[in-house]
Structure 1
Amino acid sequence: MARPGQRQKGARRTAPPKQRRVRHQDDVISVLARTAREIEAAVLRGRVTPAVRTKFQALALMLRDERARVQAAPGNGSHRAEELKRLDGIAAILAATAVRDAGLLALLAEDTSVSDAARSLKREMMRDLGIEPAPEEIASAETATAPADTESRVVPQTVISRQLANPFLAPDFSAVPQRTSRPRRLAGWELLGPLLSSFERAGGGAPACMALPAPTARFTPAGLELMPHQGQLVAAVAAGHRTFLLADEPGLGKTAEALLAAEAANAYPLLVVVPNVVKINWAREAARWTPHRPVTVVQGDGETADGFADIVVLNYEVLDRHLGWLGDFGFRGMVVDEAHYIKNKTSQRSQHVLTLSDRIRSRMARPLLMALTGTPLINDIEDFRAIWQFLGWIDDSKPLGELADALEDIGLTPADRGFYAAARQCVIDLGIVRRRKLDVAADIPARRIADLPVELDGQAGRSIRAAERNLASRMVAQYETALANRSSDAGVEGIDYDLVRRVARSELKDATTAQSGENVFTMMRHIGQAKAELAADYAAQLARSTGKVVFFAKHIDVMDAAEETFARQGVRFSSIRGDQTPKARQANIDAFVNDPDVAVAVCSLTAAGVGINLQVASNIVLAELSWTNAEQTQAIDRSHRIGQAEPVTAWRIIAAQTIDTRIAELIDSKAGLAARALDGSDEEVSSSADVQLDALVALLTDALRAPSRHVGALRS
């Protein structure tokens, strides 16, 4: 789909045919603008639900059609120009919003299919505006509701050619061995909950990693060298293991491990499903580590795909149109990169991945299945479910196959004290591989995070501190109102911390649903804007004294401000953003890596935090804070990875005497789920929502403790 506000290649400037308009066009543009603002507000709050994505795509379609209508309409030229200007403004809002979320950004790609939900919502919006849909839109709607084989939408011509060229190339669906039934002692027990809980309870130095054999270099091409930990996984595949949750920390070379694992298993043809931004990188890595295996990257409808390739790489967003032939292609292996993308089992991308995995497992004896992710758990232990199901370890309700047998063999039930540790080990033995940088310290130099407090002077600093005071005062008022409305026997001495958390939770809920007004999210954005020039100035100093620097920011306007600073100072930079095509993105990465005069890479924290290698730099500037330790770590690990020859320092720019400082402390105190579930740590489970809530709790608590408050205000 074309970017909003732009015509698709080859499109004529004509309005959609036979659309009867009842309302005035200005009403249409106003509705489009209001809808764009609603989407923008949802993204700023971090609430990018499937409904928001559907609304985004429907709005983009409406915007394209309205632009075509305005351009083709007769009449006053100045009026037409004014309408086009307003439409371009809406397009700019959509583009800027999409940069903040990879899922929205993918909807603007030319090869993205339009979902049935988006088409339906577009028709509803048109009806509400008094626009009669074009005949082809009505026909499309009827087709969408009619029974159809949706898995056969697209079959690339070269795939057909492969099937016709040689009968011996037809898929060899090896017989799946029939499992003999055995008595199930645990048949009446609910087991998935206890299995997940066994990881949540893990601690006391029990890392999640299966036993691995001595490393092998047998499958490594001449001139290249694997690290010992990489060679161990390849050796496990050579010994016959076939399912893996490869959860090595970012930067430890998972891509090379997966490619050589396929070589060791002879798992060809191999299907690789990846985020759109790393398709080119996967093709390059495949050419490097398996140079004798042809690789093809599927773009859009697959017109340029090579049906005879051994390795097929495509992105999550185009799976829907290729499910039919992919399921029948005869793949002997499937790799899912950044597997946390499928954590939401109700999402379309997850359902497509699980469908393909199920089809491969049903038709192939012991295929190679690998889920790659450095952050398998983001917000909840339930994030494991989709990954385990992809690997064939469980289904929606129970353990399957080898896992079910292993649980029977331990001779315990969830009512027994030792069940959880033993059950956790059963899952790990199926193929969880987790190595930390600490475990391979000899291979990778040290990493440290250094905080640089900065003072926000001038009007920006004053307005931010005033906004914090207003937010604290608002919560204090809510707290005191709640106290005043209590019954007389419900008193609490001093500060009621349970009530503090309830007030903070209410404020956080309001912040995620409010359309406007100052809240914790808008404050963090304003702080980022105020820090932008200071952070860029420091990055420029680093670049002059130490060499290349990676500059990360969360918001597009912070990136813009930083790039303006670099331009003024004569510092050459490369910009890596979410709104770039894969080709343009790779060109910017290559410029930073290969051109000695390009000193800084200005990167989007969300769009460039995964899937790229920037190890040419050993200094990173984090201009804005993330809400999670995992996102911050992902960004740092673009440089702190195998091949890095120097210690890596991440310089966090912290706005002193603001909520920024408190959030930095909270992020550092919460290492995330992976620490407990996979690394055997006793650290608390946390998520982005935890940090947001705790920041508000701290703000309210500090306000209640302030000496300027009258003691009588703390009524009990």
Structure 2
Amino acid sequence: MARTGQRQSGNRRGPARDQRRNREPGDVLSVLARAVREVEAAAQRGPVTPGARAKFQVVALLVREEHARVKAAPDLSEARRAEQLKRLDGIATILARTAVRDSALYALLSEDAAVSDTTRRLKREMLRDAGIEVADEPEAPAPVAAAAPTAAPERVVPQSVISRQLANPFLAPDFSAVPQAPARPRRLVGWELIGPLLSSFERAGAGDAACMSLPFPTSRFTPTGMELMPHQGQLVAAAAAGHRTFLLADEPGLGKTAQSLLAAEAAGAYPLLVVVPNVVKTNWAREAALWTPHRRATVINGNGDTLDGFADIVVVNYEVLDRHVGWLGDFGFRGMVVDEAHFIKNRSSQRSQHVLEISERVRARSPRPLLMALTGTPLINDIDDFRAIWQFLGWIDDGKPLDGLMDALEDTGLTPADHGFYPSARRCVVEQGIVRRRKVDVAADIPARRIADLPVELDGAEGRSIRAAERELARRLVKRYDSAIAARETATEVEGIDENLVRQVARWELKDATSTKAGENVFSMMRRIGEAKAGLAADYAAQLARSAGKVVFFAKHIDVMDTAEETFTRQGVRYSSIRGDQTPGARQRNIDAFVNDPDVAIAVCSLTSAGVGLNLQVASNLVLAELSWTDAEQTQAIDRAHRIGQTEPVTAWRIIAAQTIDARIAELIDSKAGLAARALDGSDEEVGSSADVQHEALVALLTDALAARV
């Protein structure tokens, strides 16, 4: 929106501007402060009205614009600039706090959120109230403008996809294979049904089932050496029996990834498309290798230059979906999984539209495709947000139920005017494929405490820098090893790798690393990796908090905690901070806020300072953003939640930087944990220490480097 004001002296001033007195630019902040307080008060009173939502979005838009303007304004003194930025940050904090009360407001904070005509009008009015002239805009953009080519994302087709098409030119979709349902009389054709269907969930009682009828579990599709839990085997059995659409809403930690992969195996739904958040993309590829080892999985990064076009499973993250949506829709997928499906709740967002477009094309081109939406978000929570998920699954379109759901509603013999319609309609939707189990419901199936590793890729310049530093450390170790070989008095030639010397070189390196700060060493490497993982770990913790309730976030370094807290603030997630430099009173207030305030979703804790003496059993999910050097330190952190008073199994999500020394250290910690257990059981073996893990990590790094040059 173009602003015209007194700095643009060449513009003509309209009559409305001449009738207003000149105001300070700071008047905008006063108007925004008043507006955000009104929205906050509205959210505290109850459900946010459409008018309050529009005002919330206007404030978000103007805060973003004002922040950029104030930072770039050449005529502001530094003191004045700092003052205005501080006021804007205060308004942004209130926005975030308000969004926590109503999760539907989160979508309005996104830069790609759709802006309605009502919102545009309100924005102009608020600017004029602040004494700033704005040019009038048309109420709705012309169709040509809406389709302007400059706004279209760049579309790509990876070379490997072209190669696949050329290798088999007969892959064109067979539209005749898509079953056509016979026409049947529609008693409900004149009724508005979407609203009553959503309302049926809002009216549901606490005892109403939120899970479809599931068959006896099967392990027929489980690979050798792997084992499904009974609740997982039930969903796989449902897919094997012919069910093809699932809203899998199990709580985090109940193995939705494994269920999805084996459901695809049971349904023969290949090729399979998996759409995921960036933070879990690598984990999906790893899980596919574990649960479907005979299937080739590939991950789309960027423009897809490394994509394997002949793979059975294609994993893509939401962030790059826009550039691949064209060929994905024509690829011939027979199955599609959308992880963290609450990401598509806002149907006006680009990522939601892309997912729905691909889903529609998959359903049009494949007979009875497998469609799965995974989300740990509770079912009765702003149920209107599930419109997009139901649409992805093919249960409804923009305005009515589609054939499968409509047939089920017809079979009830009821209409929305009948008293028994709502519970019957809800059951019809649930039986379309809603599967919801909580940890407490299947506690007998899962361990009371478990660690789940989540590998992440460190992309961009930061990731490349870390891998380069790791290679440089390996080169230094090799040079030291070679020097030691050359300095030996004996002339006997060493065959292969001298393991004793490797261990000695690692000890020298570790001693130097602990006695000097110069150069890259194993400690600085792990700190850099922790900093690089911080944003990804915080993003995953925020996802957990929205879907599973309270989360404890553990980190070793202050800068990692700072990055995490900045991420939570930006996403509107309230948190408590528990650090070693706090006074006892401040520390206890933050603990009490996390334990007692339902709106405080995350406790950000120092691994060393908060790993002991805390009772945080209000949470059953933890995120370990950085690795400990010992299993004991890791266990102490987990035991903050896994203790007397905990009513649910505890899952610790350990964030691992793939293809770095981080992954090797995780393996070493686990091996030392097994050694410690044997020692406690009476073995004569020595329990490992942190120095052992550090030493073994250097031994492994040097051994790999020496082996690579043979």
Normalising by structure 1, we get a TM-score of 0.51
Amino acid at match of 1:94: A
1:179 maps to 2:203:
no
Q: How does 1:93-172 map to 2 (within 5 A)?
A: 93-94=91-92, 97-98=95-96, 101=100, 113=112, 115=114, 146-148=145-147, 153-155=152-154, 157=156, 159=158, 162-163=161-162, 166-168=165-167, 172=172
8 Å CA contact 2:281–2:299 kept in 1: the answer is no
Which residue is equivalent to 2:543?
A: none
CA–CA distance in structure 1, aligned partners of residues 403 and 144 of structure 2: 37
Aligned-partner SS, 1:244? strand
Q: Match of 2:650?
A: 639
1:401 equivalenced with 2:377 (yes/no)? no
1:18 Cα offset (Å): 10
Is the Cα contact below 8 Å between 1:615 and 1:639 reproduced in 2?
no
User: What residue is the counterpart of 1:240 in the other structure?
Assistant: 242
Change (3 A) 1:213 1:445: closer
Q: CA deviation at 1:253?
A: 1.8
The equivalent residue for 1:252 is 254
Q: What SS is found at the alignment partner of 2:371? A: strand
> Any idea what the Cα deviations from partners look like across 1:474-521, whole Å, max 9, x if unmatched?
xxxxxxxxxxxxxxxxxxxxxxxxxxxxxxxxxxxxxxxxxxxxxxxx
State yes or no: 1:59 paired with 2:58: no
Residues 234-282 of structure 1 show CA distances to partners (whole Å, capped at 9, x for unaligned) of 2332343211122335542223212322343343454444567766665
Give the deviation of 1:60 after TM superposition: 4.2
Q: Distance in 2 between matches of 1:91 and 1:437?
A: 39
- Unpaired runs of 5+ residues, structure 2, are 1-6, 14-21, 450-572, 578-582, 655-710
Any conservation in 2 of the 1:247–1:372 contact (CA below 8 Å)?
yes
In the alignment, the residues of structure 1 paired with residue 39 and residue 395 of structure 2 have an alpha-carbon distance, to the nearest angstrom, of 38
Deviation at 1:215, TM superposition (A): 0.8
Q: CA deviation at 1:590?
A: 4.6
| Aligned residues of 1:159 and 1:307 also touching (Cα < 8 A) | no
Deviations 1:407-427 (A, max 9, x none): 556777789999887766655
Q: Which residue of 2 aligns with 1:231?
A: 233
Bigger radius of gyration among the two = 2
CA contact (8 A) 2:236 2:266 kept: yes
Match of 1:86 in 2: 84
The answer as to whether partners of 2:67 and 2:88 remain within 8 angstroms in 1 is no
Instruction: Give the AA of the match of 2:335.
Output: G
Which letter does structure 2 place at the counterpart of 1:148? A
Describe the SS at the equivalent of 1:597. helix
Task: Decide whether the 8 Å contact of 2:299 with 2:316 is kept in 1.
Answer: yes
- 1:59/1:293 Cα in 2 relative to 1: closer, same or farther (>3 Å)? farther
| Structure 2 equivalent of residue 12 of structure 1 | none
> For the Cα contact (< 8 Å) 2:260–2:372, is it kept in 1?
yes
In structure 2, do the counterparts of structure 1 residues 245 and 64 end up closer, same or farther at CA, with 3 Å as the change threshold? same
Q: Deviations over 1:506-548 (max 9, x none)?
A: xxxxxxxxxxxxxxxxxxx99x99xx9779549999xxxxxxx
1:597 aligns with 2:633: yes
> What one-letter code is carried by the residue in structure 2 that aligns with 1:639?
V
Q: Conserved in 2, the CA contact under 8 Å of 1:269 and 1:312? A: no
The residue matched to 2:650 in structure 1 has which SS? Answer: coil
Letter in 2 for 1:98: A
Residues 203, 91 of structure 1: alpha-carbon distance in 2 compared, 3 angstrom cutoff:
closer
CA distance in 1, matches of 2:251, 2:651: 10
Give the SS at the match of 1:98: helix
Q: Distance in 1 between matches of 2:159 and 2:630?
A: 40
1:114-163 CA-to-partner distances (Å, cap 9, x unmatched) read 655589987776677676899xx999x98997141789822454547634
Distance in 2, matches of 1:311 and 1:164, equals 16
Q: Is the 8 A contact 2:35 2:55 kept in 1?
A: no
Q: Does the residue aligned with 1:215 lie in a helix, a strand or coil?
A: coil
Residue pair 2:214, 2:234 contacting (<8 A) in 1 also: no
- Residue 618 of structure 1 corresponds to 642
Aligned to 2:212: 209
Checking the alignment, whether the CA contact within 8 Å between 1:195 and 1:423 is kept in structure 2 is: yes
In structure 2, the residue matched to 1:444 is: 446
Question: Structure 1 residues 382 and 367 mapped into 2: Cα distance closer, same or farther (>3 Å)?
Answer: same
**SS of the residue 1:334 aligns to:** strand
Q: Cα distance 1:60–1:402, how it changes in 2: closer, same or farther (>3 A)?
A: same
Change (3 A) 1:126 1:196: closer
CA-CA distance at 1:637 after TM superposition? 6.4
Equivalent in the alignment of 1:547 = none
Identify if the C-alpha distance between structure 1 residues 551 and 162 changes in structure 2 by more than 3 Å, giving closer, same or farther.
farther
Q: Distance in 2 between matches of 1:16 and 1:357?
A: 49
Task: Tell me which residue corresponds to 1:608.
Answer: none
| CA distance in 2: counterparts of 1:40 and 1:305, whole angstroms | 47
Residue pair 1:551, 1:621 contacting (<8 A) in 2 also = no
SS at match of 1:261: helix
**Native 8 Å contact 2:245 2:433 kept in 1:** yes
Per the TM alignment, residue 87 of structure 1 is displaced from its structure 2 partner at its CA by 1.2
Following the alignment from structure 1 to structure 2, what is the Cα–Cα distance between the partners of residues 553 and 366? 46
Please give the secondary structure, in 2, of the residue aligned with 1:179. coil
Q: What runs of 5+ residues in structure 1 fail to find an aligned partner?
A: 1-14, 448-524, 542-549, 576-584, 602-613, 623-635, 644-716
Q: 1:248 to 1:586 in 2, by over 3 A?
A: closer
User: Deviations for 1:653-696, whole angstroms, at most 9, x for unmatched residues?
Assistant: xxxxxxxxxxxxxxxxxxxxxxxxxxxxxxxxxxxxxxxxxxxx
| Cα distance in 1, alignment partners of residues 262 and 62 from structure 2 | 44
Deviation at 1:225, TM superposition (A): 2.0
Q: Is the 8 A contact 2:55 2:122 kept in 1?
A: no
Alpha-carbon RMSD across the aligned residues, in angstroms, is: 6.0
Superposed displacement of residue 230, structure 1: 0.9
CA distance in 1, matches of 2:645, 2:586: 7
Q: Are the structure 2 counterparts of residues 333 and 95 from structure 1 closer, same or farther at C-alpha, using a change threshold of 3 Å? A: farther
**Kept after mapping to 2: 8 A contact 1:195/1:424:** yes
Equivalence for 2:362: 360
Check the 8 A contact 2:29/2:87 in 1, yes or no.
no
The one-letter code matched in structure 2 to 1:167 is L
TM-aligned CA deviation for residue 179 of structure 1: 2.0
Deviations 1:445-465 (A, max 9, x none): 679xxxxxxxxxxxxxxxxxx
Name the residue aligned to 2:551: none
Structure 1 residue 227: Cα displacement = 0.7
SS of aligned partner of 2:232: helix
- Please list, as runs of the form range in 1=range in 2, the aligned pairs for 1:541-690 lying within 5 A after superposition: 588-591=624-627, 596-597=632-633, 617-619=641-643, 639=650
Aligned residues: 490
Amino acid aligned to 1:246: L
C-alpha change, 1:297 and 1:240, in structure 2 (3 Å) is: same
Q: Does 1:332 align with 2:334?
A: yes
TM-fit CA distance, 1:43: 6.7
Does the Cα contact within 8 Å between 1:269 and 1:331 map onto a contact in 2? yes
CA apart distance, 1:430: 3.4
Kept in 2, the 8 Å contact 1:36–1:59? The answer is no
In structure 2, the CA distance between the partners of 1:246 and 1:569, relative to structure 1 (3 Å rule), is: closer
The residue identity in structure 2 corresponding to 1:259 is L
The one-letter code sitting in structure 1 at the alignment partner of 2:78 is R
Structure 1, residues 621-674: CA drift from partner, whole Å, max 9, x if none?
99xxxxxxxxxxxxx86826999xxxxxxxxxxxxxxxxxxxxxxxxxxxxxxx
TM-score of the superposition, structure 2-length normalised? Answer: 0.52
Deviates more, 1:317-326 or 1:242-251: 317-326
The percent of aligned pairs where both chains have the same amino acid is 48
1:231 corresponds to which letter in structure 2? G
Q: Letter of the aligned partner of 1:181 in structure 2?
A: P
1:56/1:104 contact within 8 Å kept: no
Deviation readout 1:281-317 (Å, 9 max, x if unpaired):
6566456545654343667xx68884847333434x8
1:3-48 deviation per Cα after TM superposition (whole angstroms, max 9, x unaligned): xxxxxxxxxxxx9999999854444555565566666666777867
Amino acid at match of 1:618: H
In the TM superposition, what is the alpha-carbon distance from 1:403 to its structure 2 partner? Answer: 3.7
Report the alpha carbon displacement of residue 177 of structure 1 after superposing the two structures with TM. 2.7
Which moves more between the two structures, 80-89 or 421-430?
Answer: 421-430
Structure 1's 231 and 16: CA in aligned 2 closer, same or farther, altered over 3 A?
Answer: farther
The amino acid across from 1:179 in the alignment is Q
CA distance in 2, matches of 1:261, 1:208: 17
- Separation in 1 of the partners of 2:143 and 2:78? 35
What is the CA–CA distance in structure 2 between the aligned matches of 1:638 and 1:422, rounded to whole Å? 34
Query: What CA distance in whole angstroms lies between the structure 2 residues aligned with 1:363 and 1:247?
Result: 27
